[in-house]
Structure formats: C-alpha cells, structure tokens
Amino acid sequence: MTGPLDVLVQVGAAGLCRTDLHIMEGQWAEKSGVTLPYVIGHENAGWVREVGPAVTNVAPGDAVILHPLVTCGLCRPCRSGDDVHCENSKFPGIDVDGGMAEFLLTSARSVVKLAPGLEPAAVAALADAGLTAYHAVRKAVPLLYPGTTCVVIGAGGLGHIGIQCLVAMTATRVVVIDPNDGARALASELGAHEVRPEGKGLEDSADLVLDFVGEQGAEAQGLAMTKRAGNYFVIGYGGSVNIPTIDLISTERNIIGNLVGSYNDLDELMTLAAQGKVTLHTKTYPLTAVNEAMDDLEAGRLRGRGILVP
C-alpha cells in the first residue's frame, strides 16, 4: 500500500466471467497491454484488512463488494458520476492484477460496504455481471413503460440478473430466449412472463431487446426482433453488428452499447440485493479448481454464475 486512499481487501469470493475466457483467448491483449503473468478476476468481494490514512468510509473488518474500476475522482466523467468512463482508471483483472488471489489492492472510491446479512460469496458476481445487467436495465427503464415488451436474449450469468432487475424496476412484459432448458426454467422462476428456446416468430415484436449474448448469431436475431423506433441494447460481446444504414434510418432503430455500471449503480444494486429483489444463482469452486470452473463456463454447464472462493 502506497496511497492515502488505498484499501487492501482479503478476497472472499471472485466471480467467473466470459470476459475471463476472452482474455485467455487473447481478445483483450491489445486493449489491456498487460504482460504475462498477471492475475485475472474482476468480480470481487471480501473483507477490508488495511486502509490508507485518508480512508474514512470503511475500516478493517468491514465486508465489502468492489466496484471493478479504480477511478481518480478528478476527471470530468468522475465528477459527473459517470466514473465508468474515468479518464485515469485502472481495471483490476483486466489491466492490473485482479481478484483470483488471496488479496486485492483497490481504492476507497471502489468499495461498497455490505449490508448486514450479505456475505461476499453471495454477492461477488454482482460486482460486474450484476452491475453490467443493472446498468443496462437502468438505462432502459424510461423506455419500458407499461404495455411495452422487452426481449431478453440469454438467461445465464448476466441475463438471470437482468431479468430480476426488469421485474423489480419496470412493468414491461419480459420475454426470455435461451436454448438451455435449465436457463429457461430459471427465467420462469425469476418472473419472466414468457420463455422460448429461440426467437423465431418474434420479428419486429420488441420495444427493446437486451442482448446478453452478443455473438453466434444473437446480434442479427436481436436486431430482427426490434420494432420500428425500438432499441437494441448490446451487452454480451464477441460478434459483429451488421446492418445497412438505410435500414437504420428507415426504421429509426437504436443500437446502444452497454459497459459496466457506475459506483452509484453498484450502490443501488446492493440495495436491491439487501431487499431480496436480486439474488445470484451460483456454483462455488475452491480457487485451486479455477481450470475446472473455466471449463464449465466455456462448455455452458454453469447455471447462473461461477464463484471462486480462496
């Protein structure tokens, strides 16, 4: 620890993300610029062990969840509350060492104190999967007035959280598409109004599409389901969006990218978690079983989110 706002966290749980697979595949090598070896893991929660002299919001022993970015607090995006676009941020697990370890160094600006009764292992994946899903839904809320239809593509690690946020925060009709039987069953349990294995027959039906897959054909399917003047929200990634510009202007459809949410988004999401309105469905692995966990994630054997516990 070297900075006055440094916070050293003993990792209680680290979530597995498809981004971790993309990192291993090399998709982030050019963007992150890291040299190997380094520690991945950007969905983290645990207990504060040490704090810098200027830290006042947490103390050693506090249970916390970590916003995935370490931000400066001084640039214009930070000062406007849009700290996910901080001009001087670090991203543990992406461009500096992350949380698949025993300890993680972060900042006082990045820690949210957990409400009594919330344990790190139960909420760790909300730090990114939950935060990303919540951020997208929060942006969509003004567009999802009663009587609208929202199609959710993918009810996995992010999607199952997005469904709960939609049910908690809107009166829209939620239609979920996922080829996995278990994922569809989970979506129904979480309050989806309709679940389908595929999107055939839903062309031009959705006021808004939340695409938590973003590859393997979901992109074209998501655009096809979006109504005139509708909104296609891209959250999952790996594929490409291809559409003639004349089709965009003639239908006035919007294509909107969604990154991880802000600190305030995470604080609001933790309120929903404390109220029991958003819960994670997880499978826990010891940290030493990280390769098995990654294999399960890549093969689609995980229902909900995988969690590594040191």
Q: What separation in angstroms does the CA of 19 have from each of 56, 77, 106?
A: 33, 24, 20
Per cent of the chain over pLDDT 90 is 85
What pLDDT is attached to residue 59?
98
Per cent of the chain over pLDDT 70 is 100
Q: What is the mean pLDDT of the chain?
A: 94
Q: What tokens does 28 get?
A: 């982030």
| pLDDT surpassing 80 at residue 303 | no
| pLDDT surpassing 90 at residue 22 | no
Q: What separation in angstroms does the CA of 100 have from each of 131, 143, 154, 173, 210?
A: 19, 38, 26, 38, 29
pTM of full prediction above 0.75: yes
What pLDDT is attached to residue 24?
86
Average pLDDT (297-307) is: 84
Gap between the Cα atoms of 53 and 195, Å rounded:
52
Banded model confidence at residue 294, pLDDT cuts 50, 70, 90: very high
Gap between the Cα atoms of 193 and 161, Å rounded:
15
What are the domain boundaries of the chain? Answer: 6-125+280-309, 131-257
Q: What tokens does 30 get?
A: 């050019």
221-272, pLDDT tens digit by residue?
999 999 999 999 999 988 999 999 999 999 999 999 999 999 999 999 999 9
| pLDDT surpassing 80 at residue 304 | no
| Angle subtended by helix axes 129-140 and 263-274, to nearest 10 | 100
| pLDDT surpassing 90 at residue 26 | no
Gap between the Cα atoms of 164 and 151, Å rounded:
13
Top CATH class of 131-257 equals alpha beta
Gap between the Cα atoms of 207 and 238, Å rounded:
24
Lowest mean pLDDT among 7-21, 105-119, 209-223, 292-306: 292-306
Look at residues 180, 149, 169 and name the one whose alpha carbon lies nearest to residue 269.
169
**Residue owning tokens 């009594």:** 116
What pLDDT is attached to residue 244?
94
Question: Which CATH number is associated with domain 6-125+280-309?
Answer: 3.90.180.10
| pLDDT surpassing 80 at residue 176 | yes
Q: 158 or 28: whose pLDDT is higher?
A: 158
Which neighbouring-strand residues pair with 48? 9
| pLDDT surpassing 90 at residue 115 | yes
